[in-house]
Amino acid sequence: MRAKTAITTLDAANGAIILVFGLFLFSIQDIIIKYFSSHYSVLQIVFTRGLIALGLFLMYLQFTRETIALKSQRPLTMLARGLLGFCSYTTYYLAVAAMPLAEVVSITFTMPLFVTAMSALILREKVGVRRWSAVAIGFLGVLIILSPRGEFNPLAVIFAFIAAITYASQTILTRFLGDHDHPMTIAFNAILIFTVASGILSLLLFSGFIAVSSNHPSLEFFGRAWQLPSDVDFFLMLVIGLIAAIGFYCLSRAYCSSEASAIAPFEFTYIVWAVVFGYLFWNEVPGPTTIAGIAILVSSSLYIWYRERQIQRRETALVPAQAAEMAQQDTF
């Protein structure tokens, strides 16, 4: 078992940097998968990506000769985390198939708000009234994004919210597993579970046990038959396999080394890349309502981070003072 250590401000800063880098990689993956959504199955993409990423993990461990146990100390928790992650990533890309990228990311990345709430309720991390207020304001931003004037697909919106809730739950479990398993172990098992789950669902679809019949872009993306990729598309699948291997490790490392509520607000950087890439590749320009909602959502997340920093500084300053007081008491 890995020893549980105190989280410092430096840990939070390093965790935030690693998280932002991992999210940037995943934003590049979004471009490729949105391109794939019109002619491949999301299950085929997840399965192929997983096989490639698992191979890269094993090659890395063989090359570096690191002695990292790939078996989790908490297998049931790891399984729950992997299934939540699979649900999150799958529903996220199902939403991306039917909606503009920036809008999907804006809804999905209410995740920091869910993480802050779950950090208080599940991890028992201190979350005061001000941060609870920021969470409420963040949800107000989401309601603005979802205003009647927005062009949204109801089913895709549901998928995006499912992705947000399951991603937040996965993040909380990552913080717990970080006290027991190496980040590499967490990342490897996540991709293994993704691969097995997508393979099982594909077999159920092929056998007719699960039937998906709809013209909805999200459901077509889920139920489409597998097909042999072209040379270019196979290369792109190799790229997303590499991104998955590095990205999952970055996210696991970030949330293992930092308090969830401290770095989760940096997830909002994903929204920035979604807006930029959505415009560059698909000429998707967010409307005024979406921009206003994003601004409120990002501001609330930044405030949560600001309050976390204040609390950490205060606690750091109190430790030497308390030690000095105890030493003074010992002299009497």
Whole-structure pTM value: 0.75
Q: Residue 4: its pLDDT value, please?
A: 45
In a domain, 325, yes or no: no
In a domain, 3, yes or no: no
For the chain, how many residues are written?
332
Q: Residue 243: its pLDDT value, please?
A: 92
In a domain, 115, yes or no: yes
In a domain, 59, yes or no: yes
Q: What is the C-alpha to C-alpha distance for residues 109 and 122, in angstroms, rounded to an integer?
A: 20
How many domains does the chain contain in total? 1
In a domain, 117, yes or no: yes
| Domain, as residue range, for 226 | 9-315
Whether the pLDDT of residue 74 is over 80: the answer is yes
Question: Among 89-93, 139-143, 218-222, 258-262, which is the least confidently predicted range?
Answer: 258-262
Q: What is the Rg, in whole angstroms, of the alpha carbon atoms belonging to the chain?
A: 21
Q: Residue 330: its pLDDT value, please?
A: 42
Give the confidence band of 157 by pLDDT, cuts at 50, 70, 90.
confident
The segment with the largest mean pLDDT, out of 18-22, 127-131, 278-282, is 18-22
Q: Residue 288: its pLDDT value, please?
A: 79
Of residues 155 and 318, more confidence is placed in 155
pLDDT in tens, 119-134: 677 666 666 677 677 7
Helix ranges (DSSP H) in the chain: 9-36, 42-64, 75-96, 101-108, 111-121, 129-145, 154-177, 183-206, 217-223, 231-257, 260-263, 269-282, 288-330
In a domain, 236, yes or no: yes
Q: Which residue has the tokens 């309720």?
A: 121
* CB count in 10 Å sphere of residue 77: 16
In a domain, 322, yes or no: no
**Nearest of 163, 46, 53 to residue 103 by alpha carbon:** 163
**Nearest of 189, 220, 201 to residue 98 by alpha carbon:** 220
Give 104's contacts (C-beta < 8 A, 6+ positions apart). 92, 95, 96, 156, 160, 274
Question: Among 13-27, 40-54, 238-252, 263-277, which is the least confidently predicted range?
Answer: 263-277
In a domain, 101, yes or no: yes
Q: Which phi and psi (to 5°) does residue 66 adopt?
A: -75, 140
**Nearest of 259, 240, 258, 260 to residue 191 by alpha carbon:** 240
